[in-house]
């Protein structure tokens, strides 16, 4: 990534930025598609999904809520920016 940053810096003004943004969007779609393929192709995971999935979902929701709460608490220190 650092190498790409350097390359981008060197080619500054000669790279089509809208094209790059579109390519990034495409790459995000590709990555999520492949993540789906990895999960769908794992039989074990799909079979256990109903039983373990709920526990996992509940845990995730609480962890995310805690993270959001904590980050809202600290965000006051960044307001001055």
Partner 1 sequence: MRSSLFILGFFVLGIFLARFNLLPDALLEHDPTLPALWLLMGLIGLLLGAEGKLTEILRTVRPKIALLPIATTVGTFAGAIIASFFLVWNIADCLAVGSGFAYYSLSSVFITKYKGADLGTIALISNILRELFTLLFTPLVVKYFGPIAAISCGGASTMDTTLPIISKYAGAAWVLPAITHAIVLDFSVPFWVAIFCSL
Sites of contact with partner 1 (CB under 8 A): 1-13, 15, 17, 20-21, 23-25, 27-41, 44-46, 48-49, 52-53, 55-75, 77-78, 81
- In the DSSP assignment, the letter for residue 12 is T
Smallest gap from residue 76 Cβ to partner 1 (A): 10
Smallest gap from residue 28 Cβ to partner 1 (A): 6
User: For residues 6 and 1, what is the distance between their CA atoms, to the nearest angstrom?
Assistant: 9
Smallest gap from residue 66 Cβ to partner 1 (A): 3
Query: Do 56 and 63 form a contact (C-beta atoms < 8 A)?
Result: no
User: For residues 1 and 81, what is the distance between their CA atoms, to the nearest angstrom?
Assistant: 27
């Amino acid at each position: 990534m650092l190498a790409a940053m350097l390359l981008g810096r060197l080619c500054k003004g000669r790279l089509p930025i809208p094209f790059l943004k579109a390519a990034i969007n495409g790459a995000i779609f590709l990555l999520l598609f492949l993540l789906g393929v990895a999960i769908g192709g794992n039989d074990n995971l799909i079979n256990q999904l109903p039983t373990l999935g709920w526990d996992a979902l509940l845990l995730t929701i609480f962890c995310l809520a805690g993270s959001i709460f904590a980050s809202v608490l600290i965000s006051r220190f960044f307001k001055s920016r």
